[in-house]
């Protein structure tokens, strides 16, 4: 795991000259210094950085392995392969664009707390949870089977145990539990029957295109608005994306205008025609 991440993140370390720093490992043709080690650690994703730091010997071995593999690749002249050159160029282009966007957009996008609060106060409907019910059901093929099971339930037998034994629906393994749902999420016949029940009630036999159901209402969750604290982070993310999109569109628009961009619409349309022809 650590070795793979090191390869992806610290690839440029081997090619850089370092100021004098204590040597942690040396080999024919190179070395890993303390500076190499600490810089590689800082480049790791935060989620695994602490774990890597707690396994310094394993992490050092990963760095050495990376450098040895890099030396082997260079010995074989892989760096001169045209495909490799193309990939390096593409990576360089992405890095430059990413840095530009970070400078021009990322660092300019600061969403203030008052903007987050204002959005919450004016968009309450977005944070309202719908009224939901929780139910269990038993599904069988025939009305006679359903009526027999309904009679057993009315005589005091466990709905959940009968669901496990006889229900054809995958929920049978959980005692028939469907979980919470809102209007529009169940097939109409089952939904209508469920919303007509009171807590703990059992429905008559209900027919649908799947077969015959017996339904038990097991829970209710009333509609409520989530607190500001619950949704503040998601609001900030939303506003950040919107702001960055706005800034990016403006930046690209300005660059296109400066570049006096022109396109050959007819030539481009031919590619769409060819693609549609290939699909057919």
pLDDT in tens, 193-213: 999 999 999 999 999 999 999
Report how many domains make up the chain.
3
If asked whether residues 110 and 171 sit together in one domain, one would say no
What single-letter DSSP state applies at residue 130? P
211 or 63: which carries more pLDDT confidence? 211
Q: For 161-187, how does the pLDDT look when each residue is reduced to its tens digit (9 = 90+)?
A: 999 999 999 999 999 999 999 999 999
Single residue among 80, 115, 149 that ends a domain in this structure? 80
Q: How confident is the model at residue 16 (pLDDT cuts 50, 70, 90)?
A: very low
Rounded Cα distance between 156 and 154, Å, is 5
Q: What is the mean pLDDT of the chain?
A: 89
3-state helix, strand, coil in the chain (%, to 5): 60, 15, 25
DSSP for 49-63, written as a single string: HHHHHT-HHHHHHHH
Q: Considering the domain boundaries, does residue 197 fall inside one? A: yes
What's the average model confidence in pLDDT over 252-270?
Answer: 88
If asked whether residues 135 and 218 sit together in one domain, one would say yes
What's the average model confidence in pLDDT over 274-280?
Answer: 64
- Range of the structural domain that residue 105 is part of: 85-124+226-260
Q: Which percentage of the chain shows pLDDT scores above 90?
A: 72
If asked whether residues 119 and 244 sit together in one domain, one would say yes
Q: CB 57: neighbour CB atoms within 10 A?
A: 8
pLDDT at 7 over 90: no
If asked whether residues 136 and 118 sit together in one domain, one would say no
Rounded Cα distance between 195 and 214, Å, is 14
Q: For 92-123, how does the pLDDT look when each residue is reduced to its tens digit (9 = 90+)?
A: 999 999 999 999 998 889 999 999 999 999 99
* Lowest model confidence (mean pLDDT) among 50-59, 98-107, 147-156, 271-280: 271-280
Q: What is the structure's pLDDT at 128?
A: 92
**What's the residue count for the chain?**
280
Q: Considering the domain boundaries, does residue 146 fall inside one? A: yes
What's the average model confidence in pLDDT over 210-234?
Answer: 96
If asked whether residues 157 and 218 sit together in one domain, one would say yes
Rounded Cα distance between 137 and 204, Å, is 11
Rounded Cα distance between 214 and 201, Å, is 11
If asked whether residues 198 and 211 sit together in one domain, one would say yes
If asked whether residues 210 and 152 sit together in one domain, one would say yes
If asked whether residues 239 and 101 sit together in one domain, one would say yes
pLDDT at 254 over 70: yes
CA atoms within 13 A on the CB side of 184: 2
Q: What is the pTM of this model?
A: 0.56
Q: For 228-251, how does the pLDDT look when each residue is reduced to its tens digit (9 = 90+)?
A: 999 999 999 999 999 999 999 999
Residue 151 region by backbone torsions, left for phi larger than 0, else alpha for psi between -120 and 50, else beta: alpha
Q: What is the structure's pLDDT at 8?
A: 42
Q: What is the structure's pLDDT at 277?
A: 64
Both tokens of 9, joined, read 């993140």
Q: Considering the domain boundaries, does residue 267 fall inside one? A: no
What's the average model confidence in pLDDT over 3-17?
Answer: 43
Q: Considering the domain boundaries, does residue 279 fall inside one? A: no
Q: How confident is the model at residue 276 (pLDDT cuts 50, 70, 90)?
A: low
Q: Considering the domain boundaries, does residue 109 fall inside one? A: yes
DSSP for 207-256, written as a single string: EETTEEEEEEEEEEE--EEPPHHHHHHHHHHHHHHHHHHHHHHHHHHHHH
**φ and ψ of 225, to 5 deg:** -95, 130
* Lowest model confidence (mean pLDDT) among 82-86, 182-186, 269-273: 269-273
If asked whether residues 119 and 232 sit together in one domain, one would say yes
- Contacting residues for 190 by C-beta, under 8 A, at least 6 apart: 137, 206, 208, 213, 215
If asked whether residues 8 and 138 sit together in one domain, one would say no
């Amino acid at each position: 795991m650590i070795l793979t991440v090191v390869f992806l993140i610290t690839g440029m370390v081997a090619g850089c000259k370092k100021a004098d720093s204590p040597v942690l490992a040396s080999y024919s043709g190179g070395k890993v210094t303390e500076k190499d080690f600490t810089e590689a650690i800082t480049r790791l994703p935060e989620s695994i950085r602490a774990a890597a730091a707690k396994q310094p010997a394993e992490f050092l071995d990963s760095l050495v392995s990376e450098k040895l593999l890099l030396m082997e690749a260079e010995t074989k002249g892989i760096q001169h392969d045209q495909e490799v050159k193309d990939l390096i160029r593409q990576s360089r282009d992405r890095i430059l664009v990413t840095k530009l966007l970070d400078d021009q957009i990322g660092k300019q996008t600061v969403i203030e707390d008052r903007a987050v609060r204002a959005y919450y106060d004016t968009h309450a409907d977005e944070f309202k949870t719908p009224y939901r019910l929780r139910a269990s059901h038993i599904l069988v093929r025939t009305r006679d089977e359903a009526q027999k099971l309904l009679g057993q339930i009315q005589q005091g037998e466990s709905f959940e145990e009968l669901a496990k034994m006889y229900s054809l629906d995958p929920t049978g393994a959980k005692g028939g539990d469907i979980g919470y749902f809102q209007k529009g999420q169940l097939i109409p016949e089952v939904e209508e029957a469920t919303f007509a029940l009171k807590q703990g009630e059992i429905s008559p036999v209900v027919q649908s295109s799947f077969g015959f159901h017996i339904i038990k209402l097991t829970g209710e969750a009333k509609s409520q608005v989530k607190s500001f604290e619950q949704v503040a982070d998601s609001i900030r993310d939303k506003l950040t994306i919107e702001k960055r999109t706005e800034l990016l569109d403006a930046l690209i628009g300005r660059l296109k205008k400066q570049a006096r961009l022109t396109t050959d619409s007819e030539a481009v349309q031919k590619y769409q025609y060819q693609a549609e022809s290939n699909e057919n």
